[in-house]
Amino acid sequence: MTCEHIDNVLDKINNLVSKINDSDPSICKKINYIPEDKLKDLLDELSNKKDSAERERSFHFSFMVNGVLGAKVINIDGFSNYLKGMFDELKGCGCCSNLSSVKSDLNFYKSRYSDLQSSSDRLERELRDLRGEKEEEIRKLWAELEKEIRGRKNDNVQHNNDKLGWEREKGELQTKVTKKEGEKNTEIAKREGKITGLTTGLRNEKNKVVRLEDKLETRNREIRELTRQLAELRTNNENLRERAGQSREELLTEKIRLKYSKLEIFANQIGINLQQVSDLCRYCERLVHARKNCNQANIETHEDNITRVREELRQRGFQIEDIQKFCDKCEKIAKMRVELNEIRQQQYEARQELPPINNNRISN
């Protein structure tokens, strides 16, 4: 039956080997370094980093992740304490019959320990030398990388400045183009508005011309009719002249009719309506009566009426000469009418003075 203490020591030895293989920090530690090919890849990656803080973080992270096992350095204090525990375990054992075998194992492990310690010291020296060389190479590569990055950064700054200049020029050019387009569009809109206004005005003028042509045709027809009437009046006038034996009353009546017809023709030619002709003739006739009767109030009233008609005609755009000619014709007709009325009044009074005719026969 195996001793309990020996089993414990064997378990501790196996545990020690496991800790060494697992790089337990209480027994040994793993020393990392970056191989040359990994270092070149790292430097290539760092050259693409623009921010210095970002480059530093990426460098340390890559150094931790890409590190490989270069050596295991034995922790002397931890290893000694572990062996001391095994020795103490064996010293407390009173039933150890194979102590010589245990001593032999201990001597083997001590010898192995000395060899491992020598190897550890040698690897530490080699690692220090390698680390010094690699750190020097890293410093050189890092300096070259920083120089290249500064150069690229300067190039990027210049490129950014050029780009900003181009963008600014492009923006100014676009602003000018937009402004020019706005001015052109405004000018085009104004011209289109003017063209539209001119087109509308031209259309209105055409409509006016058509209406004027219609009025002119109507006026021409009226003129032709009035010319025909004037020819008839001239013929009638000639007939009147031939009627030498005609009475004064009939002569005035015919003259009034003839002159009134001529007045209507003249008024129609200059554009005066027949109502104004009738009104002015009536005002003139009343004025002649008032002057004959010396009625100053009626004289002023009818003069005001005539002045009002003349002012209305002037405001409508008639020529002063035409207005004066029209008023003269009306005044002449008015005088003839007054004379005709007086003749008729005399004839009436004469008939009233005649004795009545007795139609009854006297019987014998």
Q: Is-contact 63 34, C-beta < 8 A?
A: yes
Residue pLDDT, tens place only, 187-234? 888 888 888 888 888 888 888 888 888 888 898 898 998 888 888 888
Taking 50 as the threshold, does the pLDDT of residue 290 lie above it?
yes
- Report the pLDDT averaged over residues 226-254: 73
Per-residue pLDDT band at 364 (split at 50, 70, 90)? very low
pTM confidence score: 0.33
Quick one: pLDDT at residue 248? Answer: 77
- Listed range (20-29, 299-308, 315-324) with the worst mean pLDDT: 20-29
Q: Which residues contact 85 (CB under 8 A, 6 or more apart)?
A: 12
Question: Residue ranges of the domains in the chain?
Answer: 4-167, 269-351
52 pLDDT above the threshold of 70: no
Which of 64-73, 107-116, 149-158, 323-332 comes out lowest in average pLDDT?
64-73
pLDDT value of position 67: 47
The predicted structure's pLDDT at residue 245: 36
pLDDT reported for residue 244: 41
Q: pLDDT tens digit string along 5-22? A: 777 777 778 787 777 776
Residue 135: what pLDDT?
77
Q: Residue 341: what pLDDT?
A: 87
Q: What is the pLDDT of residue 285?
A: 87
Half-sphere exposure of 297 (CA within 13 A, CB side): 0
What pLDDT sits at residue 238?
64
Q: What is the 3-state secondary structure (H, E, C) of the chain?
A: CCCHHHHHHHHHHHHHHHHHHCCCCCCEEEEEECCHHHHHHHHHHHHCCCCHHHHHHHHHHHHHHCCEEEEEEECHHHHHHHHHHHHHHHHCCCCCCCHHHHHHHHHHHHHHHHHHHHHHHHHHHHHHHHHHHHHHHHHHHHHHHHHHHHHHHHHHHHHHHHHHHHHHHHHHHHHHHHHHHHHHHHHHHHHHHHHHHHHHHHHHHHHHHHHHHHHHHHHHHHHHHHHHHHHHHHHHHHHHHHCCCCCHHHHHHHHHHHHHHHHHHHHHHHCCCHHHHHHHHHHHHHHHHHHHHCCHHHHHHHHHHHHHHHHHHHHCCCCHHHHHHHHHHHHHHHHHHHHHHHHHHHHHHHHHHCCCCCCCCCCC
Q: What is the pLDDT of residue 264?
A: 87
**More confident call, 254 vs 239:** 254
Mean pLDDT along residues 46-63: 56
Confidence class of residue 246 from pLDDT cuts 50, 70 and 90?
very low
Q: Which residue has the higher pLDDT, 157 or 269?
A: 269
The lowest-confidence range among 89-93, 163-167, 170-174, 296-300 is 89-93
Number of other residues whose CB lies within 10 A of the CB of residue 302? 21
1-5, 91-95, 289-293: range with highest mean pLDDT: 289-293
pLDDT of residue 153: 76
Rounded to whole angstroms, the Cα distance separating 323 from 316 reads 11
53-78: average pLDDT:
54
Alpha-carbon gap, residue 105 to 206, rounded angstroms: 134
Render pLDDT for 82-141 as a digit per residue (tens, 0 to 9): 777 777 766 666 554 455 565 666 677 667 767 777 777 787 788 778 777 777 877 887
Dihedral (CA of 252, 254, 255, 256) sign: positive
